[in-house]
Amino acid sequence: MDLAGAMALARALRDALGKVVLGAPDAVTVAVCAAVSGGHLLIEDVPGTGKTVLARTLATALGAELSRIQGNTDLLPTDVTGVSVYSPDRGDWRFHPGPVFAHVVLLDELNRTPPRTQSALLEAMAEEQVTVDGARWPLPRPYLVIATQNPGQLGTFPLVESQLDRFALSTQLGYPDAETELDLAMGEGGRDALDKLRPVCSTAEWGRLVDACATVRVDPQVAGYAVRLVRATRDAAGILLGASPRATITLVRSARAHALLEGRTYATPDDVQAIAVAGLAHRLVTDALPDQRAGVVRDALRSLPAPRP
């Protein structure tokens, strides 16, 4: 797929999501950037704001089967990855793949699962494989994990730093404005529109789109700007743990995807700025309120001059 085709497909995906997920253009853009760049997506918000609808819409538009896992305190790691079962007839152990073996995996309310189960996703998200009983099983490609969580509720387990760091981007939907909420109440957008949505591409085309995104040109000055932003989060007041080098890599990849949505074959500092909060804030460990993490990233954006041609 050439970059012209990649631009057209990325925009078609954004348009398709926008017909279902109303009143949240920023969340739609972040979701498309995650899928196009080959990253994973975390959706954090209160119940009933459309987190699962966004995930299902993205999977449908990508032409991918969605494997959904409902998070709860009884969920075991083998419920996610799969399990080896002894077959008396064959006299051997046979591996039965779990729901993680799908092109798009939705783990709804991830923070309701205990840390032991959360850790079952770490290898899958970082290496696109699962190791069970010493055997390695590759996951399908392209591969996208979408997780949702309801922040600050009883019966939840905070996601550990290593888990958060594996999500390339994080977004929130928020409450819709009154006009959008009326549209939803009248049956426009939402689940009604999702039922009518048709795939924009196949999983094979999605894979070629991810490959094309990796060829979007990034000038060293633009990459250096991303590096400075990430390093600034490590020195910010109140931050116990800043963004990692993995954050730098995924931020640049996400900027490439954003450039495609803007109709360009090269990334600019504007692309980095547009995706910086979604790419960095969720990774920060702070002794202040969680909502202030985004403020740390915005402060870094204001204080660091962006390179200009």
- Domains in the chain: boundaries: 3-215, 217-309
Query: pLDDT digit string (tens) for 284-302?
Result: 888 766 568 888 899 999 9
Instruction: Work out the average pLDDT over 185-191.
Output: 86
Output the pTM of the full model: 0.92
Question: What is the average pLDDT score of the chain?
Answer: 90
CATH superfamily of 217-309: Magnesium chelatase subunit I, C-Terminal domain (1.10.8.80)
Helix axes 245-261, 203-213, angle to 10 degrees: 110
Q: How far is CA 172 from CA 54, 148, 150, 256, 293, in A?
A: 11, 10, 10, 21, 14
- Indicate the DSSP class of residue 95: E
pLDDT at 153: 67
Please report which confidence band the pLDDT of residue 83 belongs to, taking 50, 70 and 90 as the band edges: confident
Q: For residues 223-249, b (16+ Cβ closer than 10 Å) or e, as one string?
A: bebbebbbebbeebeebeebbbeebbe
| Confidence check: pLDDT of 202 > 70 | yes
Query: pLDDT digit string (tens) for 98-117?
Result: 999 999 999 999 989 988 88
Query: pLDDT digit string (tens) for 6-45?
Result: 999 999 999 999 999 998 999 999 999 999 999 999 999 8
Phi, psi dihedrals of residue 294, rounded to the nearest 5°:
-65, -35
Q: For residues 151-160, b (16+ Cβ closer than 10 Å) or e, as one string?
A: eeeeebbebe
| Confidence check: pLDDT of 152 > 80 | no
- Indicate the DSSP class of residue 242: -
Q: Using alpha carbons, select from 70, 77, 119 the residue that is nearest to residue 98.
A: 77
| Confidence check: pLDDT of 70 > 70 | yes
Four-way CATH pick for 3-215: 3.30.70.2740, 3.40.50.300, 1.20.1250.20, 3.40.50.1260: 3.40.50.300
